[in-house]
Structure 1
């Protein structure tokens, strides 16, 4: 079908490579957002909103009859990761030390630009299509921030969609799942406050070391109690620190950090409650004061059944292979904030069976799947309008 042909694919690939060369970290995506605005202006959207929820961008494409019909939103992410790229043979390697697009957000943005190209060629019969470029997905803050912006809320989306590339899956395979698609997670920081003393007089201080050891063991035991949870629930201790490197000092401060993760938001809340109880009991037993904080909170991304079905039908019409994910993915996605408010779905697109995994230092988004993603998004619009 001619309307699904992207006429300027080489230009889009070049744009993706530019995004990859100049990545921005979460919350500081100003340069990337400006590049997106400059590129998408070529396709004459009816409106472009900038600085939405921070550095976010929303491009509005109206249908032939924009007063009637649904408002359909598609999302991509602006931010990169604080990881050193180790791919020396890549001609478009990151030019910013210690920062790289190793999750494929550069490709996701380019797919939305490809959708803009298709919408420019042939407007939908009715309704509106919103192309949303979101900041700070990697920290879990961006989706929530954009959903607090009245300019976005006034557009009143009826449906929301996003995709994520999936290394290990055949290129262009479409991976769908009803209900939970990606896990809920949060980072937990436990601070323990005792009393420092001279290392020669440890009895005159309160060292948190023993309590830290007990907490780590207790944390590992919590998730072994499978009967407490509906489904997969994980707790991974990712950092622990006791005092400073000073051999003459008995430390009085320690910190333990962990990632809590589950398929279901309710299980994550149970895990948080039990973990806090253990911290309180152990701290009090050792005469320590404590503080617990949670950061980078991601709700579970829960898909809506009808909206997933439209993805399936759109993919089948494009003669794409569709696979159903048996279990939710263990990684988290803050698109869950969108699907909690609006009907919609997050789905996957295969990035290749030999592709390095997400967040690996030698990962690079495969350009071959750019047109597939853009055409599928356009086809989803058609499925919704024809429903």
Structure 2
């Protein structure tokens, strides 16, 4: 494994910084303290900082030995926000804020990019410009979209943009990246079925929305099995059904909520259309009515071929080709998708191990739960910091060493 010596030297201090961020988690668009920490460190290392983009975003600008005169530029992105959940770990750097936790490793993502920024600023062994993008509100807030709306790529024009996420379950020292869709679109729906309440002993006097909801939920699965092509991925998950107040009363209404995930807009269009038709026609068949709302949140995260091949080559040079895996697409969602719609690039995964790193903490401090994403026992593996930061540095240096091809939209 070819790690940069200067990053290894600073690894302990960056890990300490990561644990400080972990102990002080902030939710989407509330990352004021985290942004302060990031901006302070970048400034300390001589990196000019722009703040406030996308509400709490931070962008650092690192010019190469040419002062950025050649006009070439690359964007490297890390997310900063935490999740609204209670942490169940007990180590020294556990969350100090009830109901808030870095359970997805954004503290580690921020730390890896900071470590890379420190090295890039100290050495500047490249021509062009590296933009360090510290993004707020990935967890449902669409911070990438908001930064783009605020002029991210107009103020900081990049030829390509790259992101990285840790991935538990794979051995530390491996990466994964694939061309095409790697994460799904994220969408949610709410359907309110309106019937007519009555006494439960006299149901013929009302219109019961509960059997309508049951028919509807089952019928939605036929969209997946009978309407879309079997080779096209799609998931409809009904996750909430709310109705009723007493066991002897037929309720007036029933509310159904859930999510839809797809890798393409064509499949998403089909699912939304068929769900609406099934909802409306099922209600009509039972004499009920419905309100149908379908919200499109994050689009699919789709990696560009050339940038993915480039990223994989950089990884292979660091850890060996045998440690660069194909990333199996996941139905999870990621708002880096917006950046990949605006610029070519690649979203890669760095292995976070199986959670054994938690056993090495002084005094122990973690429960027996798994170290999986969005789990209350999760913690980022600090052993990744030198590897992830080395990848960022080598990616930037080698990308900027290429002949300029211009900025693509």
Q: Shorter-chain TM-score: which interval?
A: over 0.9
Aligned to 1:92: 93
2:393 to 378, 383, 387: 378
Cα offset for 1:22? 0.9
Evaluate the alpha carbon distance shift between residue 323 and residue 316 of structure 1 in structure 2; reply closer, same or farther with a 3 A threshold. Answer: closer
- After superposition, where does 1:218-257 map in structure 2 within 5 Å? 218-225=219-226, 227-228=228-229, 230-243=231-244, 245-247=245-247, 249-257=249-257
The CA distance in 1 between the partners of 2:334 and 2:230, in whole Å, is 21
- After superposition, where does 1:173-192 map in structure 2 within 5 Å? 173-192=174-193
The CA distance in 2 between the partners of 1:335 and 1:161, in whole Å, is 9
Cα offset for 1:82? 1.6
Aligned to 2:83: 81
Q: CA RMSD in A?
A: 2.1
Aligned to 2:312: 312
Structure 1 window deviating more from structure 2 (191-200 vs 258-267): it is 191-200
Structure 1 window deviating more from structure 2 (328-337 vs 106-115): it is 328-337
Is the Cα–Cα contact under 8 Å of residues 14 and 115 in structure 2 kept in the other structure? yes
Deviations 1:60-107 (A, max 9, x none): 11222212142111111111112221122x211111112111110110
Aligned to 1:102: 103
Is the Cα–Cα contact under 8 Å of residues 73 and 400 in structure 2 kept in the other structure? no
Aligned to 2:383: 368
Evaluate the alpha carbon distance shift between residue 92 and residue 282 of structure 1 in structure 2; reply closer, same or farther with a 3 A threshold. Answer: same
Cα offset for 1:247? 4.2
SS in 2 for 1:281: helix
Aligned to 1:142: 143
Question: Structure 1: 5+ residue runs without aligned partners?
Answer: none
Aligned to 1:127: 128
The CA distance in 2 between the partners of 1:131 and 1:235, in whole Å, is 36
Deviations 1:344-363 (A, max 9, x none): 00001011134621111111
Is the Cα–Cα contact under 8 Å of residues 3 and 121 in structure 1 kept in the other structure? no
Aligned to 1:284: 284
Cα offset for 1:272? 1.7
The CA distance in 2 between the partners of 1:4 and 1:179, in whole Å, is 34
Evaluate the alpha carbon distance shift between residue 295 and residue 135 of structure 1 in structure 2; reply closer, same or farther with a 3 A threshold. Answer: farther
Structure 1 window deviating more from structure 2 (13-22 vs 149-158): it is 149-158
1:169 aligns with 2:184: no
Cα offset for 1:295? 4.0
Structure 1 window deviating more from structure 2 (221-230 vs 16-25): it is 221-230
Cα offset for 1:16? 0.6
1:359 aligns with 2:374: yes
Question: Structure 2: 5+ residue runs without aligned partners?
Answer: 357-370, 403-409
Aligned to 1:35: 37
Give the TM-score normalised by the residue count of structure 2. Answer: 0.88
Evaluate the alpha carbon distance shift between residue 204 and residue 123 of structure 1 in structure 2; reply closer, same or farther with a 3 A threshold. Answer: same
Is the Cα–Cα contact under 8 Å of residues 303 and 344 in structure 1 kept in the other structure? yes
SS in 1 for 2:211: helix
The CA distance in 2 between the partners of 1:138 and 1:73, in whole Å, is 21
Structure 1 window deviating more from structure 2 (103-112 vs 183-192): it is 183-192
Give the TM-score normalised by the residue count of structure 1. Answer: 0.92
Structure 1 window deviating more from structure 2 (263-272 vs 305-314): it is 263-272
Structure 1 window deviating more from structure 2 (281-290 vs 316-325): it is 316-325
1:265 aligns with 2:265: yes
Is the Cα–Cα contact under 8 Å of residues 170 and 351 in structure 1 kept in the other structure? yes
Structure 1 window deviating more from structure 2 (321-330 vs 154-163): it is 321-330
The CA distance in 2 between the partners of 1:269 and 1:364, in whole Å, is 37
Evaluate the alpha carbon distance shift between residue 305 and residue 84 of structure 1 in structure 2; reply closer, same or farther with a 3 A threshold. Answer: same
Structure 1 window deviating more from structure 2 (9-18 vs 281-290): it is 281-290
Aligned to 2:216: 215
**Number of equivalent positions:** 384
Deviations 1:133-179 (A, max 9, x none): 11221115211111101254222221100111111111020101011
Aligned to 2:362: none
Is the Cα–Cα contact under 8 Å of residues 176 and 327 in structure 2 kept in the other structure? no
Evaluate the alpha carbon distance shift between residue 50 and residue 286 of structure 1 in structure 2; reply closer, same or farther with a 3 A threshold. Answer: farther
Deviations 1:251-308 (A, max 9, x none): 2121111211123332222222211211111122233332222346121111111111
